[in-house]
Structure 1
């Protein structure tokens, strides 16, 4: 995320003296506004001033022109009034060592120019980033710089004690004042992601979205407490109990299947030959078998099917199906039943 860079033009009053001084006050320390209301512009401390100087020092002397001819579209050819040879970070701001031209020194001695106007880049929060140049002008804007003459009292500065916006953001995020805007944005994004994660965890634990981290940690630790041995049984006992329950369920299912099949036999819908199939079906799916029995046709007259097993005397009683088959074959149903009993069928 790039930070917009803006350029500001300010000015300070020059002293009434015979020759301009070698060192000039270019940018004041603190937070100030221009006379025209622009700003505020911020130079936080000497460390900030040192960074501005480092950004401004390109190995080429910074120019001082007349009336900002070098940057304003006024049609005049820019001519140098002097050159800033060095910059220095001081407790009251940034100072520059200037070599004035002969013509500029004459203009200043004649009071034809009375103000020096620095031109600098700053971010959207007003923090100064880089000194570009300066210009002699008679239209002042920034009236809080120290006068050039050492014998004159400095102009009154009124920097506010309030921290600039980025300083307040850095303090809120626990970052040093020297943190760049891109680094601040990255840390803020991480903070937002962390807050979203905490909200998700709080919801998973049944806590409100606004639950503080301490409450979230306490609840999570309680959920993850080691199990109480008194609330559990050994696996062997659990397995044995599961087996007993399965056997009991099997017996209940078998009894239920027996009742359903017996009822279907009494209704004439299941013959003895169908019993084994019917028992398997009913044991596996009682509801399915019940539905089938309800829709199945009557195969033999209801009550005609005798209970399975031998009759008294060891002779099986022929059922209705056997009787019908024997009638088609011209056989005696009783003899056929006795023959089946003798063969163990």
Structure 2
């Protein structure tokens, strides 16, 4: 939208109170017939609000000079002393926009009090609809319709452009500073460095599609991530007993399982040793008198017992009869292998032969005793 520059003169009525009216409420025009770019200028509470906010954010106050010398200084080379300053704007319904808490210089205050200056003339920017958009400064004047207005407005346009450029640079510098902080970049990073880092971030958020993908709400993503992290932290601090087991309980279960396994292993080892002892007694590797010793060794050191039995020779004579249960040759044994003895009586003719006795005589002796 195209914008224009204008100056307006309003009579000073309350200068001594530090309050001056800059614009009347509603539609207004200058005494010289301006504006020509639109039907009229316009000031309302809605139009005034951004002007009030802008004034409050300014670091430097608006200047009030004499006869708009600020605009003419570049051409006539004369100084442009200030008559006063203002920083705060106030809307008064039905009256207009006022500058309050105006600080006048002693010289300006004296001239106003003496009636030497009667009008205040704000210089402002307005759009095609006549809405006031920017206040540049103001001036004390006695000429409501300024001579050389075209030149003054040209200078005002240059001033507005310079102010806008400075403001744009300030805003851009602040934006770059915030982006460096957000992207964790050094303060020496250029705009190109920041753009490159932003492209990487866009690539991650769009799965490599870039700006061709649908835009994302980064703030919402961060909020969702924080919510998820908070939920996970709560689960860590208060785990669900139906899904998670405490470390102490797990350690206790492992210890009990290990003890049970050790007990089972011990039982299996004992059984294995008992089986080895039984087999060794049967094949002559152990004598009956050695059974107690072997059982004790199996409990204290089963490997030692296994080693001993693996090396012990088998004594065949201790495991079977040399005659296969039959009397030696030349021995009369009418009663068979038992030499006439009952089946439940242990008697081996081979043993009698080893002892140098006559098996028949022993059998006869036993039979006589029974008789």
TM bracket, shorter-chain basis: 0.3 to 0.5
TM-score (norm 1): 0.38
Query: Which structure has the bigger radius of gyration?
Result: 2
Higher relative contact order (CA 8 A, sep 6+): 1
Structure (1/2) with the larger helix percentage: 2
TM-score (norm 2): 0.35
